[in-house]
A = this chain, B = another copy of it.
Amino acid sequence: MLGILGGDDRCPIARSLDVLGEKWTIMIVRDALAGVTRFGDFQSSLGIPRDVLAARLGSLVEGGVLERRDYKPEGGRRREEYLLTAAGRELSLILLALGNWADRHRPSPRNSRMRFLDSETGATAQAVAIAAGAVIPSERIVTRIEDAAVG
């Protein structure tokens, strides 16, 4: 499942997209962050084809975002559920940035019903860039390729 985009492994964005870049993957992570753990719950929440869901859950496990764990529902057989790893939980920052961007630039006809909050204070959460401890506007973010000739 590595390298779906030509696999430039020097680019961290390409490496993130190796895990997250396929159709449905980020929506599965969104549901997982909202507490969904079971195959059928992902399926009915997203309306995703079952075979695609099985493939995506597999590559998220392989990519270290989810892990499978046994669970036993009362009056049912033992099954597996999908839990976020520490790495997976850190994706909430990416989803926050995606959500903030849509709220600013893709307003919905019926207004957005999803809010991002700080679980401790209840205050609205927002993604920002910082450099040297201070918040900077996103226009000041630049990428530099360290072209240090190898060898």
A positions within 8 Å CB-CB of B: 4-6, 9-24, 26-27, 30, 33-34, 46-47, 63-64, 87, 89-106, 108-110, 112-121, 123-132, 135-136, 138-148, 150
Docked-complex contact B110 and A141, CB < 8 angstroms:
no
Identify which of B112, B124, B139, B150 contacts A89 (C-beta below 8 A): B139
Residue of chain B at shortest CB distance from A26: B17
Would B112 and A10 count as touching, CB distance under 8 A? Answer: yes
A49 smallest CB distance to B (angstroms): 11
User: Can you name 14 A-B pairs with beta carbons within 8 Å?
Assistant: A13-B26, A16-B101, A18-B106, A87-B101, A87-B104, A93-B97, A93-B141, A110-B150, A114-B145, A114-B146, A115-B146, A117-B144, A118-B140, A119-B141
